[in-house]
Amino acid sequence: MTDLVLSLDVTERASALRIARACAEDVDAIKVGYPLVLGAGLGIARDLADLGIPLIADFKVADIPNTNTLICDQVFAAGFSAVIAQAFPGPDSVVACVESAHTHGGECYVVAEMSHPGALTFFSEGVPEAICRLVVETGADGIIAPATRPARIRALRDLIGERKILSPGVGAQGGDPAEVAPLVDGMIVGRAIYGAADPAAAARVYAPYRR
């Protein structure tokens, strides 16, 4: 029903490679963000990409267009196949990320609504809906939507057409994979897998939901 995206939020290279190798058969992509890149260096991306698993850069890129281009060009040169951007800097900033992604044969996802409780302070009152319209206008490949609020995923799905939804919040944040998997294109799971004594076994828990 959905891809399983491992959010590899460990901070040491050795742990990252051990977990990624152990889970390689049981996940469809790996999401890497600041914790791992700041802890292990950007070179970790090439090490992980060499395992043959698509890599998503969760840097929530949010700057002026020129800086976004510089950041995204580095992301794709490092071996990532997708980047996650924030929408709030505006359409030109998102376009910069989309153009860099597509120039490199990659994808750009935009955060439409976050999964934690405090997200509702600013991701409310039509803002996620406006972000979805921006995603369509800018040609971005999809959105990030909260597994902790399946009703919101359904509402946002109606606004983005064929574009994809990647959804964090399953597992440690309480999202239910049985409810979320049919709604999304990728289910993002971090602590429930990398924090388990046996990460591969923990990843296989999600096997019934994978397409």
Binding residues: 9, 31, 115, 190-191
Taking contact as CB under 6 A, which single stretch among the options 22-30, 93-101, 134-142, 184-192 is the one that binds ligand 3DU? 184-192
Are 45 and 80 spatial neighbours (Cβ–Cβ below 8 Å)? Answer: yes
Is 189 a residue that touches ligand 3DU (CB under 6 A)? yes
Are 171 and 191 spatial neighbours (Cβ–Cβ below 8 Å)? Answer: yes
| Closest by Cα among 163, 166, 88 to 131 | 88
Strand partners, 4: 187
| 63 catalytic per annotation | yes
Taking contact as CB under 6 A, which single stretch among the options 20-28, 37-45, 73-81, 183-191 is the one that binds ligand 3DU? 183-191
What are the C-alpha distances in Å from 80 to residues 19, 44, 113? 18, 10, 23
Are 189 and 7 spatial neighbours (Cβ–Cβ below 8 Å)? Answer: yes
Is 93 a residue that touches ligand 3DU (CB under 6 A)? no
Interface residue with ligand 3DU among 114, 131, 183, 203 (CB under 6 A) is 114
| 73 catalytic per annotation | no
Interface residue with ligand 3DU among 87, 110, 144, 180 (CB under 6 A) is 144
DSSP SS3 for 110: strand
User: Vertex 71, ends 127 and 140: CA angle to 5°?
Assistant: 40
Are 186 and 209 spatial neighbours (Cβ–Cβ below 8 Å)? Answer: no
Q: Min. distance of Cβ 27 from ligand 3DU in angstroms?
A: 13
Interface residue with ligand 3DU among 168, 177, 186, 199 (CB under 6 A) is 168
Is 7 a residue that touches ligand 3DU (CB under 6 A)? yes
| 58 catalytic per annotation | yes
DSSP SS3 for 43: coil
State how far the Cα of 6 lies from the Cα of 97, in Å rounded to an integer.
23
For ligand 3DU, the closer CB: 183 or 188: 188
Is 115 a residue that touches ligand 3DU (CB under 6 A)? yes
Instruction: Name the catalytic one among 3, 58, 141, 185.
Output: 58
Is 3 a residue that touches ligand 3DU (CB under 6 A)? no
Is 188 a residue that touches ligand 3DU (CB under 6 A)? yes
Is 173 a residue that touches ligand 3DU (CB under 6 A)? yes
State the angle between helix axes of 91-103 and 65-77 in degrees (0 to 180), rounded to the nearest 10: 30
| Closest by Cα among 129, 124, 109, 118 to 185 | 109
Task: Catalog residues that contact ligand 3DU under the rule CB under 6 A.
Answer: 7, 9, 33, 58, 114-115, 144, 146, 168-169, 171-173, 188-192
| Active centre residues (catalytic) | 58, 60, 63
